[in-house]
Amino acid sequence: MTPSNTPLADLCRTMRRIRTFEERVAELYARGLSAGSMLHLSIGEEAAAAGVGAAMQPQDSFTTHHRGHGIFLARGAEPSRMMAEIAGRDAGYCRGKGGSMHIADMALGHLGANAIVGGGIPHVVGAGLSYKRQKNGAISVAFFGDGAMQQGILYESMNMAALWDLPVLFVCVNNQYGMGTRIDLATRSVEFDRRAEAFGLSAKMVDGEDVEAVFHTAQALADEARAGRPGFMAVSCFRFFGHGRMDKSPYRTAEEEAAGRKRDPIARARDTLVERGLASAAALDALDAEVVREMNATIDFAAAAEAPPYASMFRDVYGPGEPEPEPLQRRLDRILAIA
Ligand SMILES: Cc1ncc(C[n+]2csc(CCOP(=O)(O)OP(=O)(O)O)c2C)c(N)n1
Ligand SMILES: [Mg+2]
What amino acid occupies position 301?
A: F
Where residue 1 falls among pLDDT bands split at 50, 70, 90? Answer: very low
Note the pLDDT tens digit of each residue in 111-139.
999 999 999 999 999 999 999 999 999 99
Atom of ligand 1 nearest to the CA of 117: 26
DSSP label at residue 225 = H
Distance between Cα 179 and ligand 2 center (Å): 7
For the Cβ of 180 lying below 6 angstroms from any atom of ligand 1, the answer is no
Residue 105 Cβ contacting ligand 1 at under 6 Å = no
Residues 61, 138 contacting (CB under 8 angstroms): yes
pLDDT band at 323 (very low <50, low <70, confident <90, very high): low
Q: What is the pLDDT of residues 228-240, one digit of tens each?
A: 999 999 999 999 9
Q: What's residue 244's pLDDT? A: 94
Tens of pLDDT, residue by residue over 167-177, are 999 999 999 99
Question: Is residue 114 lining ligand 1, measured as CB closer than 6 Å?
Answer: no
Q: Which residues contact 134 (CB under 8 A, 6 or more apart)?
A: none
Q: What is the DSSP code string of 150-219? A: G-HHHHHHHHHHHHTT-SEEEEEEE-SEETTEEGGGT-S---HHHHHHHTT-EEEEEETT-HHHHHHHHH
- Rounded to the nearest integer, the mean pLDDT of the chain is 94
Q: Among 117, 185, 246, 251, which is best to mutate for testing ligand 1, by the most ligand atoms less than 8 A from CB?
A: 117
Nearest CA to ligand 1 atom 4: 117
pLDDT tens per residue across span 53-84 = 999 999 999 999 999 999 999 999 999 999 99
Please indicate whether residue 67, judged by its CB atom, sits closer than 6 Å to ligand 1.
yes
- CA nearest neighbour of 289 among 20, 5, 72, 71: 20
Distance 116 CA to ligand 1 centre (A): 7
- How many Å apart are CA 274 and CA 263, to the nearest integer? 18
Lowest mean pLDDT among 23-32, 139-148, 314-323: 314-323
Which pLDDT score, from 0 to 100, does residue 6 have?
65
Instruction: Give yes or no for a contact between 169 and 142, defined as CB atoms under 8 angstroms apart.
Output: yes
CB 241 near ligand 1, within 6 Å: no
